[in-house]
Amino acid sequence: MSKIELIITNNYEEMSQKTADIFIDLLKKKPNSILGLATGSTPIGLYKILIEKNKSKIISFKDVITYNLDEYCDIPKSHEQSYFTFMNQNLFDHIDINKDNTHLPQGEGDSKINSENYDKELNKVKIDIQLLGIGSNGHIGFNEPGTDFDLGVHEVLLTENTIKDNARFFENDINKVPKKAITMGIKNILSAETIILIANGKNKANAIKNIMKGVADKNVPASALNLHKGKVYVIVDKDAASLL
């Protein structure tokens, strides 16, 4: 069983800064790191700090390789809400990374083949740090409650809960939210050297409480972090820690 290191911060800015410090430290020591990245509102503050540190030449992404957790199916890469667009707009366009070294699952086309291909790519590498956000229902990536922990990259049907949570990015219209996605499985996530899960806000408090019970429960996908053999950080603000 892994012992999760829980870091409770005062606010979103401090949560982002503490997380950035761990990434900066790694990039200074290992400029050719392999990073597992995440989308969503939670990592935006972290990405802003990393961009700043890159612009001031404290860190470089020239030799960094990245793999993202997930991507929506059935919307083109160029869609303004695709995770491909998100990563370019919120990080890759602003740093000195070689875009050939950035990887996301392919959302368009045959999901089975796309999943197999991404899984094969991931199996060839060892991610140094995997960053995770968490859904209010405890999902990580798009691994929704009930997902088998042994699955590799796979296609998922989004739950109603996640569709509702994400409607804010699609003009608050649940009908506009894609219903399917491709995601790294829990197995892929657990093969990273270090995992950092970040969360802020009261709507994440219950999910954080469920991770910190210390038991891996299929109904709370993020609780699988308790099975990780390497280092795990859970970095949260006060609100997300309010039920601990």
Active site residue 144: yes
Q: How many residues in the chain? A: 244
Beta strand residue intervals within the chain, DSSP E:
4-9, 34-37, 65-68, 70-72, 102-103, 129-132, 154-157, 180-183, 194-199, 231-237
User: How far apart are CB 12 and ligand PGA at their closest, in Å?
Assistant: 11
Nearer to ligand PGA, 107 or 135 (CB): 135
Active site residue 154: no
Nearer to ligand PGA, 42 or 226 (CB): 42
Considering the candidates 54, 68, 70, 114, report the single residue annotated as catalytic. Answer: 70
Chain residue whose CB lies nearest ligand PGA: 40
Backbone φ, ψ for residue 100 (5° rounding): -65, -20
Active site residue 80: no
Considering the candidates 103, 119, 139, 188, report the single residue annotated as catalytic. Answer: 139
Considering the candidates 68, 114, 137, 210, report the single residue annotated as catalytic. Answer: 137
Nearer to ligand PGA, 36 or 135 (CB): 135
Could you list the residues that contact ligand PGA (CB under 6 A)? 40-42, 133-135
Nearer to ligand PGA, 116 or 151 (CB): 151
User: How far apart are CB 123 and ligand PGA at their closest, in Å?
Assistant: 23
Q: What's the rounded Cα separation, in Å, for the pair 74 and 85? A: 14
User: How far apart are CB 93 and ligand PGA at their closest, in Å?
Assistant: 20
User: How far apart are CB 87 and ligand PGA at their closest, in Å?
Assistant: 14
Q: What's the rounded Cα separation, in Å, for the pair 151 and 133? A: 19
What's the Cα-to-Cα distance from 184 to each of 108, 109, 112, 207, rounded to whole Å? 16, 17, 13, 20
Angle, CA of 141, 142 and 147, to the nearest 5°: 110
Residue positions annotated with a catalytic role? 70, 137, 139, 144
